[in-house]
Structure 1
Amino acid sequence: MSTDPSPLAGGLLIGLSAAMLILLNGRVAGVSGLVANLARPLGGRWLADLAFILGLILGPPLFMRLSGHWPAMRIEAGLPVLILAGILVGFGTRLGSGCTSGHGVCGLARLSPRSLAAVLVFVGTGMLTVAAVRVLS
């Protein structure tokens, strides 16, 4: 069992930010929807969406500033695979009407049947993908 408090702190901050967004703005913290709204004309929600996304982007530099080191990351895929994965994730979020944050964090917390179905699909697909990659490599 890990004694590193970072995952717990991160989970608490994600939950807190999602709760604050829905309580203060009446919006679900679905990151794909928030990013999509940035392409629309300026409005009251645009600035709030931008602030939320900037908070996500500035999280790692803040972590580095507070801890003295960057969060551990290991990406083994090449650029073409990452681009293809990004396109597929973008397509999937549109097809599923949301992403892991919208369905997995907020939707499940609201006991949404649609979110439960979406989470089962993307977790199952992820498991099948890992199994396929292991067999092929």
Structure 2
Amino acid sequence: MPQSRSQRLGAIVLLVASIVGFAIALYAYFTPLTGVNGTLGALVAILANIALAVMALILPALKGNAARNVWRVLILLGLAGTFFAALLLHQWWICVAMVVGLIGLILDLALATRTARPAHT
């Protein structure tokens, strides 16, 4: 059964947050006087946001609760690692984007459990 738009909302929020984080990290990497331009840390933040975007695209396509739960844990680890890297880089807007991504992950989990429960009548 195909997923409705509300069931994919969490993955969409996660995707948008990772794209915004990617754009901010890209700006910080290439713009002089950001304090992190050309650094390995900013490059890692760029790559981590790309990985999170790909994971967000794959999340709605996964079948089975076990696979989705493992994927969610990997996404959570990616969000936490990127958040920590952004803290070390003093890139606060990337931190905000990762918190929004976490909200998207929580939405995905909440909407999946809500639709999986049978209706009590």
Same fold (TM over 0.5): no
TM-score, normalisation: structure 1: 0.32
Query: Comparing both chains, which one has the higher relative contact order based on Cα–Cα distances under 8 Å and sequence gaps of 6 or more?
Result: 2
Larger Cα-atom Rg? 1
